[in-house]
A = this chain, B = another copy of it.
């Protein structure tokens, strides 16, 4: 598919000005941050190679710019369409893989990471142990979720770790997308006790299509792709002295477990919900432990951020 066989080869072999890309990259001045200079230079080289290899015309270019501008215009505190647009092209999942590989290259994996996605909100309500994040939906699949937050290297329970959880309602909508739900419904923050344990009630999650009323949905339609994310629950797990983990767990029974529109599923994050008897508050149960790497231990893995501890 790609005709790239070395940067200089591509430029020299094409019918277009062989010096143009170097001129753009070399316009960068001596005071630029070296990492930023590397990133923008690499991006310009690849974008220009893409334009030349595919002979992208101005009409096609303007259509793409228009799509990007419209994504920004739709974005606000509750919606990040730019992120959604790049999620469906696998960008966030790939950066997540890169970041977690850098974090744990020399070690077995702590809890695997997964993309944040565009629906996380800051300052979800803080709940007490055993509370439910669900308001409404009496007939839905309420679930007791519990487990521990552990130090990945020592297995020691971590006290006062924060479990930040968010998921959709049975209609597939996050509360920020759904005027029928109370503000901050199905979002909450819990803190582990001295034994590292947390417990909460949530819903067994529901698959949903990503919003199709913006450029991301438009692009999926044009690519003849389905818009479905398999049923999942989002988490950010954090604790003082530990590297935070952004992750998701996925319901094994979901029909889209192998073809997530956002390319975020990893086998170690696929879970089985168990039926639960005799609990009027929940029909299902899920036990799940999260494992965090301490900044101290992270140093031996060359983990980014460890130096800031």
Q: Using a CB–CB distance below 8 Å, which chain A residues touch chain B? A: 1-2, 4-7, 15-17, 20-21, 23-25, 27-33, 36-62, 65-66, 68-75, 80-83, 86, 89-99, 101-102, 105, 116, 219, 222-226, 246, 259, 261, 263, 304
Chain B residues closer than 8 Å to A101, beta-carbon distance: 15-16
Closest to A29 in B: B224
Chain B residues closer than 8 Å to A93, beta-carbon distance: 20
A62 and B87 alpha carbons, distance in the complex (Å): 11
Chain B residues closer than 8 Å to A31, beta-carbon distance: 224
Oligomeric state, in number of copies? 2
Q: Is the CB of B81 within 8 A of A69?
A: yes
Q: Is the CB of A83 within 8 A of B57?
A: no
Q: Is the CB of A32 within 8 A of B75?
A: no
Chain B residues closer than 8 Å to A94, beta-carbon distance: 16, 20-21, 48, 51-52
Q: Is the CB of A225 within 8 A of B28?
A: yes
Pairs across A and B, CB under 8 Å, 13 listed: A1-B42, A15-B105, A16-B97, A20-B93, A48-B90, A57-B102, A58-B96, A61-B86, A61-B91, A65-B86, A66-B82, A69-B72, A72-B74
- Among A15, A62, A223: residue with most chain B CB under 10 A: A223
Q: Is the CB of B1 within 8 A of A41?
A: yes
A31 and B207 alpha carbons, distance in the complex (Å): 24
Chain B residues closer than 8 Å to A74, beta-carbon distance: 72
